[in-house]
A and B are shown apart, each in its own frame.
Chain A
Amino acid sequence: MASRDTGRIVVGLVIFLVLASFPVWFSATQGRSDYRPELEYPAGETKCVESKEYMRTWHMDLLNQWRDSVVRKGVRTYTSDAHHTDYDMSLQNTCMKCHTNKANFCDRCHDYVGVSPKCWECHVEPRGAE
């Protein structure tokens, strides 16, 4: 024998379920749930400063390390562990030389994962981005 306020409880439950299933119907309405960012790799380039896995996980730390080295210690060249070539420690002048399109490379992954780094408030995207 249902009680008087079953209605109100069901409404409460429905509200809870709607809230709990927010990601499901939100992504469904956006229609991008199977979207995975394919990054536009620079044409003609095969190797980056370090290995692909290392860069995917540690690029922010590497950049931090470059910053401290350049700004604080004045050391501007970085020898890569992977293949021992030297690079100029600069986001804009080194990274951005190959990855000319920030939108199709950096931002795709960052937006996908909901990260909004503050670096781009100062550092300049390469002109290729326009």
Chain B
Amino acid sequence: MEKDRRDFLKLAGSVLGLGATAPAAALASTGGRPVQEEGTHWAMVVDTRKCQAKEGCTACTDACHLAHNVPKIPEEAHEVKWIWKEKYPQAFPNQVHPYIEDSLRDRNVPVLCNHCERPPCVRVCPTQATFKDEQGIVTIDMHRCIGCRYCIAACPYGSRSFNWKDPRPYLQDIQSDYPTRTKGVVEKCNFCEERLAKGQIPACVEACVTAECGALLFGDLSDPESEVSRLLRTTNTIRRKPNLGTAPSVFYIV
């Protein structure tokens, strides 16, 4: 009984409260980007050299798309993808010049949502459907997303996809432990939040390990002893479009 009344009052409250909360929050948000609070901060390191070694390998994409019921839509215009391979010059447009190393020019680099510390998509979402949880993962509340696609326009990495149509006909083997999406909502990599909750490593990392490639490494950045932190301290890594100040959590060893 009270749950629903709370729901109802929230509606009334939000409408009435609109006046009060809006100016205060507006002041806070325009005063500078929300600072990343401490707690776990999942990050991923991608060793592009190892990935390059296994030519034409799509283990990570297949595993991820299978686990999360991501549809295989033929026409590229309405494609939905969470993680996929991109040429190096596309992934790192401002770190390329005509005379770069040949292997680098057509090296396939896995790209996915960077789960930025200061995500522009979260900033622009009019209903806070996409938001950054305490573990640093930028996730989407599929129940609240109104499909305005403002977040896709705001994402500098183009890692968000929109369901232009009902994905289900394009799903051969629907996993029953994870919901699919429906037409009209945005979706993207969620760092396998549901697997992390069960203590497993993300599907793509696990697939990369089973494919004896080991290009993907996943860990908690806030724990200095974690493998990821140690690797970052010892090897030179770069991030995509660092100049935009979004502070992505996916690092690339080139």
Is there contact, CB below 8 Å, between A67 and B143?
Answer: yes
Is there contact, CB below 8 Å, between B179 and A124?
Answer: yes
Bound: A67/B197 CA distance, A: 15
Is there contact, CB below 8 Å, between B3 and A71?
Answer: no
Q: Please, which residues of chain A bring their CB within 8 A of the CB of B179?
A: 92, 122-124
Is there contact, CB below 8 Å, between A122 and B139?
Answer: no
Q: Please, which residues of chain A bring their CB within 8 A of the CB of B176?
A: 92, 96, 124-127
Question: Binding site of A, secondary structure by majority: helix, strand, loop or mixed?
Answer: helix
**What sequence of 0s and 1s flags, for each residue 155-185 of chain B, a beta carbon within 8 Å of any chain A beta carbon?**
0000000000000000000111111111000
Is the C-beta of B106 less than 8 angstroms from some C-beta in chain A?
no
Question: Binding site of B, secondary structure by majority: helix, strand, loop or mixed?
Answer: loop
Is there contact, CB below 8 Å, between A122 and B7?
Answer: no
Is the C-beta of A72 less than 8 angstroms from some C-beta in chain B?
yes
Is the C-beta of B75 less than 8 angstroms from some C-beta in chain A?
no
Is there contact, CB below 8 Å, between B178 and A92?
Answer: yes
Is the C-beta of B142 less than 8 angstroms from some C-beta in chain A?
yes
Is the C-beta of A80 less than 8 angstroms from some C-beta in chain B?
no
Give the number of residues in A that approach B within 8 Å (Cβ atoms): 20
Q: Please, which residues of chain A bring their CB within 8 A of the CB of B225?
A: none
- Of chain B, the residue at the smallest CB distance from A58 is B3
Is there contact, CB below 8 Å, between B181 and A122?
Answer: yes
Bound: A29/B177 CA distance, A: 41
Q: Please, which residues of chain A bring their CB within 8 A of the CB of B134?
A: 74
- Of chain B, the residue at the smallest CB distance from A67 is B143
Bound: A96/B176 CA distance, A: 9
Q: A72 → chain B, closest Cβ, in Å? A: 7
- Of chain B, the residue at the smallest CB distance from A91 is B179
Q: Which of B194-218 contact A (CB under 8 A)?
A: 197
Is the C-beta of A61 less than 8 angstroms from some C-beta in chain B?
yes
Using A61-B4, A124-B180 as known contacts, say yes or no to A74 and B133 having CB atoms under 8 A apart.
yes
Using A61-B3, A64-B7, A96-B176 as known contacts, say yes or no to A76 and B197 having CB atoms under 8 A apart.
yes
- Of chain B, the residue at the smallest CB distance from A76 is B197
Q: Please, which residues of chain B bring their CB within 8 A of the CB of A58?
A: 3
Bound: A1/B147 CA distance, A: 68
Is the C-beta of A34 less than 8 angstroms from some C-beta in chain B?
no
Q: What are 14 pairs between A and B in contact, CB < 8 Å?
A: A61-B4, A71-B139, A74-B135, A76-B197, A92-B177, A118-B182, A121-B182, A122-B179, A122-B182, A124-B69, A124-B174, A124-B176, A124-B180, A126-B176
Q: B-contacting residues of A (Cβ < 8 Å)?
A: 58, 61, 64-65, 67, 71-72, 74, 76, 92-93, 96, 118, 121-127
Known: A74-B197, A93-B177. 16 other contacts (CB 8 A): A58-B3, A61-B3, A65-B3, A71-B139, A72-B141, A74-B133, A74-B134, A74-B135, A92-B176, A122-B179, A122-B180, A122-B181, A122-B182, A124-B175, A124-B178, A125-B176
10 tightest CB-CB pairs across the interface, nearest first?
A121-B182, A61-B3, A122-B179, A123-B179, A71-B141, A124-B176, A122-B182, A124-B174, A126-B176, A93-B177
